[in-house]
Amino acid sequence: MGLPAGHVTDVPGLSRTAQLKALGNGVVPQQAAHALRALLHSRAAESTTAAA
């Protein structure tokens, strides 16, 4: 998922069920970064077009 090894699995006392729950529907960090870059690029393009 792009997280450091053991991000959830090396937490002492956390059961497998709790590990899966902690991961849940988490967003992959690289996917979130890409989405933000795309959004910022889109907004910048809109600003440039609107100013012209």
Tens-place pLDDT, residues 1-42: 677 888 888 989 999 999 888 888 777 888 889 999 999 999
For the whole prediction, is pTM greater than 0.95? Answer: no
Q: What is the DSSP letter of 6?
A: T
Higher pLDDT, 49 or 37: 37
Counting other chains too, the contacts that 22-26 makes at CB distance below 8 Å and 24 or more residues apart are 26/1
